[in-house]
Amino acid sequence: MTIEPTALPEPTATTTLEPTSTPIPPTATSTPNPTATATREPAPTVSPTSTSTPVPPPTATSTPIPVSPEEVALTAFYESLGGAQWARNDNWLSDAPIGEWFGVTTEGGRVVTISMRGNGLRGELPAEIDNLTDLRVLDLAENDVIGAIPPNIRSLVRLRELDLAANDLRGEIPPQIGNLTALESIRLSENDLSGAIPSFVGNLVNLTQLDLSANGFEGPIPSQIGNLVGLRHLNLGGNKLTGEIPAVLTNLRNLDWLDLSNNRLSGEVPDRLDEFSGLRGLLLASNLLKGMVPPEIGELDLQVLRISGNSLTGCLPETMLESTFQIRLEHDLHEVGLPYCNRMDRDALTAVYNATSGTKWPQSANWLSEQFVGDWHGVTTDSEGRVVRLELGSNGLVGRIPAAISGLERLEVLDLGGNRLSGAIPPEIGDIGRLQVLVLADNLLTGPIPAEISLLHELRVLSLSSNELTDGIPVEFEDLQSIARLDLSRNHLSGEIPFNIGNFGTLRVLNLSYNGLTGRIPGQIGMLNRLVSLDVSNNDLYGEIPYQLANLRLDSLRVSQNELTGCVVDVLRDAVSKTAHDFEVARLPFCREIAVKALGSLFESTNGPDWFISTNWMSDAPLNNWYGVVTDDLGRVTEISLSQNGLDGPIPTELVELVNLMELDLSGNALHGELPGQIAAFAALQELDLFENRLSGSIPSEFGALAYLARLNLRFNTLSGEIP
């Protein structure tokens, strides 16, 4: 049945219902909502004398039969959302053109806009909304729309703006929205939507606004949001989002508003925020973010900044302290609970000034003034205004180093040398994690070297010389994996040089001189293949100089004024041939010189020129090329085998200088005289064969001291007494 205009004359211009004998069947699109029932007037009685009966004009409470898919959709919209109770429902369900219905805009007879913000809508969105295929704007914000977003919304392929904010929608965002690629703005805030923010949102590449705030969304922020390069407004605040802020957000360089506040986001604040050059609002408050506040934030032209309610550490960048930044900004920095970096550094510098008689410093320009700290004498700052160097050497500092100096958390160079600082080195220095150079030399510091210095993993130079420090070298120093120069000289250090010193792989200069160190020089020092200068002089070290030092290419080697013994082996002698060393002062001869002297005494004492074989003897050839002489890898004589070689004469006492000798075979010769008791000095001797010579006298009791002697042959001599 159709509704046609009547033929009645003006001005009433009413519509009449064509008579029919068949009742109008009810349809799904015309069934009134129980809460908004429209009652049709009773059908008029048709008299025999009239062909039509006038009826009253339709009102907003009458329900005409829709004649187009769009009217079907609007009728369902009206009935499903309680149209009779709307604040305004002008012309709805009347015969007026639908473009004149309140909140509806048409073009060419097609519905392009429905704008019913705050109009008292109550109910669910009808499925028939899919008939509005030309719809470009759907604004139903601030109503009481309930239920789920219908999947039929997929048909609204020309939709540009979707605003369902401040309603009572539930469920997840239907995947069909991912097909609406013409969308430029989505506002679904202040609902009860749940689930994850769908990845298909990345398909909506024309979006400039996405507001999903104040819902119950969970899970991470999908990385696909990084595809929305035209996005200007992104609000995901007030949800239950987790994970880190994805780095791909930096792709959104057109953003002017970013709100991720009141979620459960973790990790650090991204440090590339300066790429958001047009950002006006940054809201990250009330999350689980940690770490430092990126200094780039202070470079943004922000109007709103919210970062409180996190677990941020450190301090606020100095750029945030600038008056121009503060004046234009609505912020919560006072609630963050962090000092400004500049103020934090100022406090630490002020503590140094007060603790070391700053008023008496020869140079103290600008100290404790309102001038920028980078203009204070001896202070250098980085591009962010943080103190990175404090150089007050030879500046008359008197007093103690305050623990508060650890507040200079970006300090890289600390030079307080050449002053009159006293007391202990504060262990809090170990908290200055970026420190690379620490110079406290030439002061009056006392107590042990704090082990906490080993926490300074970037430390390259440590100079504590010329103080009154005591105790040992901390074994924890092996953690100083970047150390290149270690100078602990001229203190009162005791104990042994730690064996793990070989782990200082980057060390170039090691000075431990003028202390009270004991024990042996560790051979592990030979593992320091970058070492160019070694000074362990003027201590109480003993033993031989380790041959492992031959692995080094030293420019300077100082070992004198200790209790060192032995000799310098050939390989070390060759290694230091171009090195400035003090072996002569230390009375450490080269082992070859000792061996040549001892072997020469044997040659001369036993008529060497008449030996049967004396190849290379008393020449410059390597000792292991001398007939009957064997040396170890270090050039030390370990064996002499001259059996039946025409030796004639006494055994010289000088032979005992060969302290590494393990085998001595002079059998079958014409040796005579007594056995020298000094032969017991052969501490390493394992075999002694003097068989068939002309030796006489008593067997020396000192033979009993040869602890390693395993074979002794004295037969066919004229010796007397017992073998000890």
| Confidence tier at 724 by pLDDT (50, 70, 90) | confident
Eight-class DSSP state of 673 = E
pLDDT digits (tens, 9 = 90+) for 440-497: 999 999 999 999 999 999 999 999 999 999 999 999 998 888 999 999 999 999 999 9
The sheet carrying 694-698 orders its strands as 648-649, 670-674, 694-698, 718-720
Give the Cα separation of 182 and 617 in Å (integer).
Answer: 101
Pick among 3.40.50.300, 3.80.10.10, 3.40.47.10, 3.40.190.10: CATH of 343-588: 3.80.10.10
- H or E segment to which residue 639 belongs: strand 637-641
User: The whole model's pTM is what?
Assistant: 0.57
Please state, rounded to an integer, the average pLDDT across all residues of the chain: 87
Long-range contacts of 56-62 (CB under 8 A, 24+ apart): 56/14, 57/13, 57/14, 57/15, 58/15, 58/93, 58/94, 58/95, 59/94, 60/84, 60/89, 60/90, 60/91, 60/92, 60/93, 60/94, 61/93, 62/38, 62/93, 62/94
Q: Are the beta carbons of 345 and 392 closer than 8 angstroms?
A: no
Q: Which two tokens stand for residue 217?
A: 């969304």
Secondary-structure class of domain 592-720 per CATH: alpha beta
Contact 450, 472 (CB under 8 A): no
Residue 181 to residue 160: CA distance in whole angstroms? 9
The single-letter code of the amino acid at 482 is S
- Calpha distance 168→187 (Å, rounded): 13
Q: Are strands 648-649 and 670-674 parallel, antiparallel or unpaired?
A: parallel
Which pLDDT score is estimated for 324?
54
Lowest mean pLDDT among 33-47, 167-181, 425-439: 33-47
When pLDDT is averaged across residues 643-670 and rounded to a whole number, the result is 94
Considering Cα of 310, then 311, then 315, then 318, what sign does the dihedral take?
negative
What residue spans define the domains of the chain? 66-196, 343-588, 592-720
Q: Mapping DSSP to helix (H, G, I), strand (E, B) and coil, where does residue 16 land?
A: strand
The count of residues in the chain is 724
Task: Kindly report, residue by residue over 353-403, the tens digit of the pLDDT.
Answer: 999 999 999 999 999 987 778 889 999 988 778 899 999 999 999 999 999
CB atoms within 10 A of CB 25: 7
**The domains spanning 66-196 and 592-720 adopt the same CATH topology:** yes
Residue 321: the pLDDT is 64
Return the CATH superfamily for domain 66-196.
Ribonuclease Inhibitor (3.80.10.10)
Q: pLDDT, tens digit, for every residue of 187-220? A: 999 999 999 999 999 999 999 999 999 999 999 9
pLDDT of 702 higher than 70: yes
Q: Which residue has the higher pLDDT, 541 or 547?
A: 541
